[in-house]
Amino acid sequence: MLNYAKTQNLLIIGAAGGLAQITIGLLSKHYPHIHLVGVDSRSMDHLPKKPEVTFIQMSYTRGNFEKIFRDYSFDAVFHLGRLSHTKENDKYTLTQRLDLNVMGTSRILDLSLKFKVQKIITLSTYHVYGALADNPVFINEDAPLRASIKYPELRDVTEMDQVATSWMWKHQGEIETLVMRPCNIIGPQINNSITRYLRSRYAPVPIDYNPMFQFIHEFDMARVLIQSMESVPTGIYNIAPSESISLRKARELIGAPALPMPISLLSPAAKLFKYVWAYPDYLLDYVRFSCLISSSSLGKYLGNDLYRFKTREALELLKLK
């Protein structure tokens, strides 16, 4: 197990993202002796400067990563740099996302082994399971990853998860590796698809079906990542609170008016509103079908009372003004 008291250098990939920034803030506050290196292909000029944090903007090439691994001799790595399906990333084709997410993850894992990193956490998502009509009530980590069956746009994140998982078991005796699959992460610094759907005044909502969702606040997600690095052994872990909430109740707490309509009209209506709000096509299936995950495996190591924000509180922080 990694010991933060003995850790000297720690790498955070995807440092410009909101979750990474919260994670860096908590780490620098509680472990000021650790030198944090945050890398991202995006600009980080706007980020606050701290003596214990070094930010490096770079392309995600093997050569660039090999240089920083050689320069800093990292004890641990947070791989939070998955390229998500957001409006800002529309410029990337599926082929480019596959290279950045799948091949990029493979490079990072291999370099972590080569340079004797003690532990690495790779952030995936519960979306890899897919929202399908025959999903069990709660999905465990050993469930098949079916997201890309219907939606090719989820192929990159599904393959990235599979690459990380296969690599993890292959090298489990050499390096501790965690693959984390959180539920919907929400918070003031997170601008993902589900947040925009919940807040949008133009997002269609089924009138004849009220699906249940799980949400985790960005601060709690960062805390789980940090605690898992020191306390959770090699494995795949779902991350979600025990409570869930209906879609209509979630939008009510935020204060977003609904556009109620029969579920059969959901897709046609959504296409009409795409010029107002751009969304990934797969998101609508998470409105049609249940996709709740069980996080009992993680609870064995971190306990079941590790979330500071209740679901209601996390949603109210997104309340429309």
Query: Closest by alpha carbon to 237, among 299, 191, 153?
Result: 299
Burial letters for 103-141: b for 16+ Cβ neighbours within 10 Å, e otherwise?
ebbebbbebbbebebbbbbbbbbbbbbbbeeebeebbeb
Rounded distance, CA 302 to CA 50, Å?
A: 29
The answer to whether residues 116 and 72 touch, using CB atoms and an 8 Å cutoff, is no
Number of neighbours of residue 14 by Cβ within 10 angstroms = 23
pTM equals 0.92
Tell me the pLDDT of the chain (321 aa) as tens digits.
Answer: 899 999 999 999 999 999 999 999 999 999 999 999 999 988 888 888 889 999 999 988 889 999 999 999 999 999 998 755 444 444 445 455 556 667 789 999 999 999 999 999 999 999 999 988 889 989 999 999 998 887 777 888 899 999 999 999 999 999 999 999 999 999 999 988 898 888 887 777 888 888 899 999 999 999 999 999 999 999 999 999 989 999 989 998 998 877 777 777 766 666 666 665 667 778 888 888 889 999 999 999 998 778 999 999 999 998 865
> 53 Cβ partners below 8 Å, 6+ apart?
24, 28, 35, 36, 37, 38
> 46 Cβ partners below 8 Å, 6+ apart?
none
Rounded distance, CA 104 to CA 191, Å?
A: 23
CATH architecture of the domain formed by 4-190+215-243+293-308: 3-Layer(aba) Sandwich (3.40)
Q: Which pLDDT score, from 0 to 100, does residue 78 have? A: 98
CA distances from 68 to 17, 32, 45, 195, 229 (A): 20, 21, 19, 34, 21
* Burial environment of residue 101 by CB neighbours within 10 A (0 to 12, 13 to 18, 19 or more): buried
Helix (H), strand (E) at residue 261: strand 259-261
Every domain of the chain and the residues it spans: 4-190+215-243+293-308
Residue ranges with strand state E in 5-88: 9-13, 35-40, 53-57, 76-79
Burial letters for 39-49: b for 16+ Cβ neighbours within 10 Å, e otherwise?
bbbeeeeebee
Query: Closest by alpha carbon to 122, among 241, 237, 5, 293?
Result: 237
How is residue 321 annotated by DSSP? -
Query: Closest by alpha carbon to 118, among 224, 35, 2, 27?
Result: 2
Reading the block at residue 24, the tokens are 């860096």
